[in-house]
Amino acid sequence: MERWLRKEATIREAFVLAVAMIVVKIGYSYVLGIAFPQLKDAVDNAPKLGMTILAFSTPFLFLFYALMEEVIFRAPLSIAEDLGWSVRGMMVASLVLSVVFGLLHGSPANIPYQGVAGFFYCIMYLKCGGLTGNGMKAIAVTSISHFTWNMLCIANLYCHGVRVV
């Protein structure tokens, strides 16, 4: 895996990786919901924030949120790369960052969903330039992928009857 990660992805490869990641996340979420219905119940019954979806500002807010989350949760990987950490050490850091990413998205029940997504974003970050000193490209790719996922989630909520103001 280290050899694969060390070869920086081209823009085309990054796009394919982002699309593949979204497809895998959709399938993973579906399978996880079937295999462990108690996880889905825990997420569904978690305290709600009462967020109203604002149709015009939603894309801008979610782009900002995705960018900030990617900077906060992927920048430590750049620092680790600058400090000369091994790929194995960065994978361990990726796991830790992913658990924190999942916890900060609500509750421990979110770790299997958002935590795994966070790990995918770490892999994408490393593959798309995080290991070769091209952190801006890596942040851009992961932010766009994260934003796309967030907007797909909003579209799903809209299709299930969440009122858009």
Question: Does 135 fall in a domain?
Answer: yes
Specify the pTM: 0.80
pLDDT band at 92 (very low <50, low <70, confident <90, very high): very high
The per-residue pLDDT for range 26-66, each reduced to its tens digit, is: 777 777 666 666 555 555 554 554 555 556 677 888 889 89
* Ranges 23-37, 46-60, 65-79, 112-126: which has the least confidence: 46-60
Q: Which residue has better confidence, 111 or 71? A: 71
| Torsion angle in degrees (nearest 10) through CA of 143, 145, 147, 148 | 160
The count of domains in the chain is 1
Question: How many Cα atoms occupy the beta-carbon half-sphere of 134 within 13 Å?
Answer: 18
Q: Which residue has better confidence, 127 or 54? A: 127
The per-residue pLDDT for range 138-163, each reduced to its tens digit, is: 999 999 999 998 888 777 777 766 65
Q: Average pLDDT over the chain, rounded to whole?
A: 81
Query: Whose structure tokens read 């219905």?
Result: 37
What is the average per-residue pLDDT within 67-96?
Answer: 92
pLDDT band at 135 (very low <50, low <70, confident <90, very high): confident
Question: Does 51 fall in a domain?
Answer: yes
Range of the domain at 105: 2-159
Question: Does 164 fall in a domain?
Answer: no
Question: Does 165 fall in a domain?
Answer: no
